[in-house]
């Protein structure tokens, strides 16, 4: 399989992070500046241009035992500096399903 | 009920131990994700948005109560307390941890349940009519043959790496509840002039990006030849099916590109050479499988017991009975469909508590047997009519007696953007909103039979193409947009729906469906004319006008 | 890349030739299909055994006239997912009665061994050393088989019939 790095030219429109799912349990994680993974979006490393994005993605892909399916996802930076998901999909990945889970309703 | 013997159990256990080893190698880094992916898929493990998803097979939709309890146990111990019944007689758990999966599989194996080939490019769970063995007028129990084919397709040494997934469904009734025409192979069990069992074989059905209704490839294949005939189809497909483009890899595309005549000649040539081989089935083999299906010892019961007569005075009971209770082949018994479509709930979900309680009810009222159908509902297949009122009360307490089976709120929906990593748009909240809009059962009854199907992307897991009203979520400029089709159907007269016009926004979908329904109520000639018949008679134009006149 | 044959890691006596590699004087050679078909007679008359590397998108029936005279057929798995060579293998063994070495090449990992053995392969160019070493253990992983293939393993259905008869069930 071609790696996502070769598959497409990496172009980012604004601040972005690398996100993936942790290998052993599958939960949503974000790549941190300390070359690790965190379940907290607030701890994600922010990239602002294609070169940074490519580098962060490359190191994330290399950590295949840590997390799977890494990709670049847009974020928004709030006025208070808070990192927010950049689209509905990422919003749902961060906060969970929008429907209430049966066992909880 | 089919009882696994030692041989079946051994295989399932061997599979679990193999997967345990594969997971171990994955977690240690010995296997890369790229290498592991196909292995996990062969065991029903997907990656969704939030977590891994685990899909478990319920072959031909038959479950024993200890098996349903085991599913409840997995939901509780390894997941978040619920499971999702799909359109192909599977159940999915949405929050499973990879590291714990081998344990979950082992717990399931103890009751003869497995997840082999519930995803990946192999032969998937063989599905059948959820009323198999109990439907009046059925030619014979199609599950005997489903089980034969299930065994034959499990860990097949030649066809475990096909161009794409491969789904087989079998029905033995005139009314097709197994949706065989949207399967890669559809089998309709029939008898020849001599009274021998065989199959009409259909091939090349499927939905997804390029939907096709299956075509008949052979009008009669004798039961003894069915494995060799299927094998011939698969061999042609394995060699010539496209592997260059994932969207063109299903057998439907091969059938379409070659044409059914050429394709059937290829199959015929292959079949001639393998027909008289060890694939030929002796009657004795069929009898052996048949002997391991047990059937209840039904009592001799009256057609109309007093209990039922008395309960008929209760309009709530009657509303439920009319929609949920179907005739059984044995007098005094009925088939009870359990709606998993409560108002405001996600279609097809059941909690561990509901599963456990339902298992108890099945023990008490249905000879310990539960069925799973492609409409994402469950059924109790052998309920004595005198027990119906008591069963209804118990189901109602569990939230499992919504009287909407086959009505507009009995919606089929895929997980969509709430769970699925391939989704473009949400499906479940659309379904939830629609069930609230049409929560009034009198209104729903007035509308009559109407199936709504919702998919969150073109892969069509919610079968939107064959919904009487089909709703497909797409993405446009970062927004969820929904395309609406009408006039599809999934039964023996299967047809694909027609698009009524430009897509509409998330918030508008329920309004549009209301408009379509109002148009139908105004246009139908008489109350018995069902929605799909009105669409057939008038075409999409009047509906289109109604929907877009004000938009 | 280790070669497993007869269940053990062995030295590979065959040298793989490309379309244009000069023909070695002696020794066993594996030749691409096209080249083999082009110069079959010459190749088969030289000293040393000849095998053919057969791509998975070419009709295996073309090879039938030569099957009695070649020592090996190497079938190709370009990716783990591409299962065409399983069909070719079964056709060679079961329809054309080929008895020589049948070798799996390409993306060959331990998780396919059982499938490959059942389809008729007896030699494996295994990608990873650890997989090659685990060959016997992996090959024994399963004891139950549902499908009859040319490998002669007894199927579950037949085992049941035997049990039935020995227990006198049905009498
Ligand atoms: C979130 C996990 C899921 C993923 C990733 C997924 C993926 C897919 C894909 C890619 C296809 C298209 C295959 C093709 O046409 O080649 C497909 C088809 C299908 N899916 Fe799913 N699916 C998921 C969940 C479900 C669920 C929950 C159901 C049932 C409610 C379902 C039922 C089906 C059915 C019946 C088809 C066949 C449609 C056809 O014949 O083309 N899937 N799925
Ligand atoms: S139709 Fe699309 S969104 Fe829905 S489950 Fe299938 S792949 Fe996911």
pLDDT tens-place string over residues B497-524: 999 999 999 999 999 999 999 999 999 9
pTM of the model as a whole: 0.93
Angle value at C-alpha B201, between B196 and B202, nearest 5 degrees: 155
Confidence band of A6 (pLDDT split at 50, 70, 90): low
pLDDT in tens, B68-94: 999 999 999 999 999 999 999 999 999
In angstroms, rounded to a whole number, what is the distance separating the alpha carbons of residues B175 and B153? 26
In the three-class reduction of DSSP (H, G, I as helix; E, B as strand; rest coil), residue C13 is classed as: coil
Neighbors of chain B with 3 or more C-beta pairs under 8 Å: A, C
Expressed in angstroms and rounded, the spacing between residue B399 Cα and the centre of ligand 2 is 27
In the three-class reduction of DSSP (H, G, I as helix; E, B as strand; rest coil), residue B429 is classed as: helix
In angstroms, rounded to a whole number, what is the distance separating the alpha carbons of residues B215 and C130? 47
**Cβ(B146)–Cβ(B128) under 8 Å?**
yes
- Whether B162 contacts chain C with CB within 8 A: yes
Is the pLDDT reported for residue B221 higher than 50?
Answer: yes
In angstroms, rounded to a whole number, what is the distance separating the alpha carbons of residues B55 and B119? 8
Is the pLDDT reported for residue B109 higher than 70?
Answer: yes
Angle value at C-alpha C58, between C53 and C60, nearest 5 degrees: 75
- Atom 33 (ligand 1) nearest CA: B461
Confidence band of C168 (pLDDT split at 50, 70, 90): low
Answer whether B460 contacts ligand 1 (Cβ < 6 A).
yes
**Residues B97, A88: C-beta atoms closer than 8 Å:** no
**Cβ(B356)–Cβ(B69) under 8 Å?**
yes
Find where tokens 């890899």 sit. B249
Mean of all residue pLDDT scores within chain B: 95
Give, in order, the Cα–Cα distances in Å from B243 to each of B112, B211, C56: 34, 18, 12
Average pLDDT in the B523-529 region? 95
A26 → closest Cβ in B29, B47, B345? B47
Q: What is the dihedral of CA B60, B65, B68, B70, to 10 degrees?
A: -120
Is the pLDDT reported for residue A105 higher than 60?
Answer: no
Is the pLDDT reported for residue A12 higher than 90?
Answer: no
Answer whether B181 contacts ligand 1 (Cβ < 6 A).
no
Q: Convert B420-443 to b/e letters by CB count within 10 Å (16 or more is b).
A: bbbbbbbbbbbbbbbbebbeebee
Q: For residue B490, what pLDDT is reported?
A: 84
Q: For residue C170, what pLDDT is reported?
A: 45
Q: What is the dihedral of CA B529, B492, B132, B335, to 10 degrees?
A: -10
Give, in order, the Cα–Cα distances in Å from B218 to each of B145, B150, B181, B484: 18, 21, 14, 35
Expressed as residue numbers, the domain containing A66 is: 12-94
Is the pLDDT reported for residue A7 higher than 70?
Answer: no
Confidence band of A2 (pLDDT split at 50, 70, 90): very low
Answer whether B381 contacts ligand 1 (Cβ < 6 A).
no
Residues of C with Cβ-Cβ distance to B246 under 8 angstroms: none
Q: Convert C142-169 to b/e letters by CB count within 10 Å (16 or more is b).
A: bebbbbbbbbebebbbeebbeebeeeee
B418 → closest Cβ in A21, A92, A105? A92
- Whether B26 contacts chain A with CB within 8 A: yes
**Residues A21, B52: C-beta atoms closer than 8 Å:** yes
pLDDT in tens, C114-145: 999 999 999 999 999 999 999 999 999 999 99
Residues of C with Cβ-Cβ distance to B5 under 8 angstroms: 160
pLDDT in tens, C151-166: 889 999 888 888 888 8
- Whether A69 contacts chain B with CB within 8 A: yes
**Residues B99, A24: C-beta atoms closer than 8 Å:** yes
Domain boundaries, chain C: 3-140, 143-171
Backbone angles phi, psi at B179, to 5 degrees: 55, 45
pLDDT in tens, B316-354: 999 999 999 999 999 999 999 999 999 999 999 999 999
Structural domain contains residue A101: no
**ipTM confidence:** 0.94
Answer whether B93 contacts ligand 1 (Cβ < 6 A).
no
Q: For residue A102, what pLDDT is reported?
A: 60
Q: Are strands B479-486 and B469-476 parallel, antiparallel or unpaired?
A: antiparallel
Pick from B76, B93, B418, B422 the residue to mutate for testing the A interface (most A CBs within 10 Å): B418
Answer whether B420 contacts ligand 1 (Cβ < 6 A).
yes
Expressed in angstroms and rounded, the spacing between residue A69 Cα and the centre of ligand 1 is 20
pLDDT in tens, A30-62: 999 999 999 999 999 999 999 999 999 999 999
Residues of B with Cβ-Cβ distance to A88 under 8 angstroms: 417, 478, 480
- Whether A102 contacts chain B with CB within 8 A: yes
Structural domain contains residue A6: no
Structural domain contains residue A21: yes
pLDDT in tens, C61-117: 999 999 999 999 999 999 999 999 999 999 999 999 999 999 999 999 999 999 999
Is the pLDDT reported for residue C171 higher than 60?
Answer: no
Chain C residue whose CA is closest to B243? C82
- Atom 22 (ligand 1) nearest CA: B461
Which residues of chain C form beta strands (DSSP E)? 3-5, 8-10, 14-16, 28-32, 50-54, 72-77, 101-106, 123-125
Q: For residue B4, what pLDDT is reported?
A: 84
B80 → closest Cβ in A23, A25, A101? A101
Helix and strand counts by DSSP (H, E) for chain A: 3, 5
Structural domain contains residue A20: yes
Is the pLDDT reported for residue A100 higher than 80?
Answer: no
Mean of all residue pLDDT scores within chain A: 89
Domains delineated in chain B: 6-109 (3.90.480.20), 142-291 (3.30.413.10), 306-397 (3.90.480.20), 412-548 (3.30.413.10)
| Total structural domains within chain A | 1
Q: For residue A104, what pLDDT is reported?
A: 45
Pick from A102, A104, A105 the residue to mutate for testing the B interface (most B CBs within 10 Å): A102
A vs B, Cβ pairs < 8 A, gives: 84
**Residues B288, C95: C-beta atoms closer than 8 Å:** no
Domain spanning C3-140, CATH class = alpha beta
- Whether B287 contacts chain C with CB within 8 A: yes
Structural domain contains residue A105: no
The H or E element that residue C110 is part of is none
B98 → closest Cβ in A1, A23, A69? A23
Which residues of B100-157 form beta strands (DSSP E)? 127-128
Is the pLDDT reported for residue B275 higher than 80?
Answer: yes
pLDDT in tens, B179-189: 999 999 999 99
The backbone region for C97, taken as left when phi is positive above 0, alpha when psi lies in -120 to 50, beta otherwise, is left
pLDDT in tens, B418-463: 999 999 999 999 999 999 999 999 999 999 999 999 999 999 999 9
B429 → closest Cβ in A64, A69, A99? A99
Q: For residue B5, what pLDDT is reported?
A: 87
Confidence band of A1 (pLDDT split at 50, 70, 90): very low
């Amino acid at each position: 399989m071609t790696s996502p790095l070769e598959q497409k030219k990496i172009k980012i429109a604004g601040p972005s992070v690398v996100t993936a799912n942790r290998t052993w349990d599958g939960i949503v994680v974000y790549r941190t500046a300390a070359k690790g993974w965190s379940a907290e979006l607030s701890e994600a490393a922010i990239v602002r241009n294609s070169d940074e994005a490519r580098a962060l993605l490359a190191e994330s892909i290399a950590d295949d035992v840590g997390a799977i399916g890494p990709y670049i996802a847009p974020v928004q930076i709030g006025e208070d500096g808070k990192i927010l998901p950049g689209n509905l999909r990422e919003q749902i990945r961060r906060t969970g399903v929008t429907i209430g889970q049966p066992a909880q309703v | 009920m089919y009882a696994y013997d030692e041989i079946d159990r051994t295989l399932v256990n061997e599979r679990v131990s193999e997967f345990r080893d594969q997971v171990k190698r994955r977690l240690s880094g010995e296997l890369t994700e790229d290498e592991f992916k196909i292995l996990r898929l062969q065991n029903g493990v997907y990656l969704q948005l939030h977590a891994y998803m685990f899909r478990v097979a319920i072959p031909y939709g038959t479950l024993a109560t200890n098996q349903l309890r085991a599913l409840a146990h997995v939901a509780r111990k390894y997941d978040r307390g619920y499971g999702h019944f799909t359109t192909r007689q599977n159940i999915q758990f949405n929050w499973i941890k990879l590291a714990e999966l081998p344990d979950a599989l082992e717990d399931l194996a103890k009751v003869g349940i497995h997840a082999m080939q519930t995803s990946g490019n192999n032969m998937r769970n063989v599905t059948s009519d959820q009323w198999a063995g109990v439907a009046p007028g059925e030619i014979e129990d199609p599950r005997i043959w489903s089980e034969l084919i299930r065994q034959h397709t499990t860990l097949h040494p030649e066809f475990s790496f096909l161009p794409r997934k491969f789904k087989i469904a079998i029905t033995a009734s005139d009314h097709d509840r197994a949706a065989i025409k949207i399967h890669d192979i559809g089998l309709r069990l029939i008898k020849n002039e001599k009274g021998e069992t065989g199959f009409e074989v259909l091939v090349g059905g499927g939905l997804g990006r390029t939907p096709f209704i299956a075509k008949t490839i052979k009008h009669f294949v004798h039961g003894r030849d069915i494995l060799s005939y299927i094998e011939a189809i698969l061999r042609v497909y394995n060699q010539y099916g496209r592997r260059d483009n994932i969207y063109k890899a299903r057998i439907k595309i091969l059938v379409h590109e070659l044409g059914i005549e050429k394709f059937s000649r290829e199959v015929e040539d292959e079949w001639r050479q393998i027909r008289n081989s060890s694939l030929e089935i002796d009657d004795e083999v069929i009898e052996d499988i048949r002997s391991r299906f047990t059937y209840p010892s039904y009592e001799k019961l009256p057609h109309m017991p007093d209990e039922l007569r008395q309960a008929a005075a209760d309009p709530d009971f009657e509303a439920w009975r009319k929609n949920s209770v179907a005739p059984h082949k044995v007098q005094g018994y009925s088939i009870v469909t359990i709606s998993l479509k409560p108002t405001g709930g996600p279609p097809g979900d059941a909690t561990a508590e509901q599963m456990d309680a339902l298992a108890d009810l099945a023990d008490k009222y249905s000879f310990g047997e539960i069925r799973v159908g492609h409409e994402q509902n469950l059924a109790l297949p052998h309920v004595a009519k005198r027990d119906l009122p008591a069963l209804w009360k118990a189901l109602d307490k569990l939230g499992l007696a919504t009287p909407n089976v086959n009505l507009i709120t009995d919606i089929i929906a895929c997980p969509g953007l709430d769970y699925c990593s391939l989704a473009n748009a949400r499906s479940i909240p659309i379904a939830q909103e629609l069930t609230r809009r049409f929560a009034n059962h009198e209104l729903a009854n007035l509308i009559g039979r109407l199936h709504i199907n919702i998919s969150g992307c073109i892969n069509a897991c919610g079968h939107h193409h064959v919904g009487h009203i089909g709703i497909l979520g797409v993405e446009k400029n970062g927004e969820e947009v929904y395309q609406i089709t009408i006039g599809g159907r999934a039964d023996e007269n299967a047809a694909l729906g027609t698009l009524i016009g430009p897509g509409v926004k998330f918030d508008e979908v329920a309004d549009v469906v209301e408009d379509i329904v109002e148009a139908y109520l105004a246009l139908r000639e008489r109350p018995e004319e069902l929605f799909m018949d009105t669409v057939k008679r008038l075409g999409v134009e009047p509906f289109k006008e109604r929907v877009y006149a004000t938009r | 890349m280790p070669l497993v044959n007869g269940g053990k890691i062995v030295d590979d006596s065959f040298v793989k030739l490309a379309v244009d590699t000069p023909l070695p004087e002696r020794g066993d050679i594996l030749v691409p299909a096209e080249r083999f078909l082009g110069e079959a007679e010459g190749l088969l008359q030289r000293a040393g055994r000849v095998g053919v590397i057969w791509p998975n998108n070419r009709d295996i029936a073309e090879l039938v006239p030569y099957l009695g005279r070649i020592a090996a057929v190497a079938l190709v798995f370009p990716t783990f997912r591409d299962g065409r060579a399983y069909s070719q293998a079964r056709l060679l063994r079961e329809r054309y009665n080929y008895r020589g070495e049948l070798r799996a090449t390409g993306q060959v990992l331990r998780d396919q061994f059982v499938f490959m053995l059942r389809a008729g392969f007896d030699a494996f160019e295994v990608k990873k050393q650890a997989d090659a070493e685990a060959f016997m253990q992996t090959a024994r992983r399963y004891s139950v088989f549902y499908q009859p293939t040319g490998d002669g393993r007894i199927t579950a259905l037949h085992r049941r019939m035997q049990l039935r008869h020995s227990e006198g069930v049905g009498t």
